[in-house]
Amino acid sequence: MTRVIAGAARGRRLRVPAAGTRPTSDRVREALFSSIESALLADGRAWSQVSVLDLFAGTGALGLEALSRGASRAVLVEKSRAAAGIVTANVAVVARPGAEVLVRDARQLAGLPPAVVADLCFADPPYDWAADDLAVLIGQLAEAGWLAPDALVIVERPAKDPVSPLPAAWDEGRRRAYGDTALWYGRFAERERTHERQDHPIS
Q: What is the residue extent of each domain of the chain?
A: 2-193
Task: Give the whole-angstrom CA distance, residue 100 versus residue 55.
Answer: 12
Architecture field, domain 2-193 = 3-Layer(aba) Sandwich (3.40)
The model's pTM is: 0.90
Task: Give the whole-angstrom CA distance, residue 109 versus residue 193.
Answer: 25
- Cβ contact 147:118 at 8 Å: yes
Task: Give the whole-angstrom CA distance, residue 176 versus residue 78.
Answer: 25
Task: Give the whole-angstrom CA distance, residue 101 versus residue 183.
Answer: 24
Least confident segment among 23-32, 44-53, 100-109: 23-32
Output 171 or 192, whichever has higher pLDDT: 171
State the average pLDDT over residues 142-154.
Answer: 95
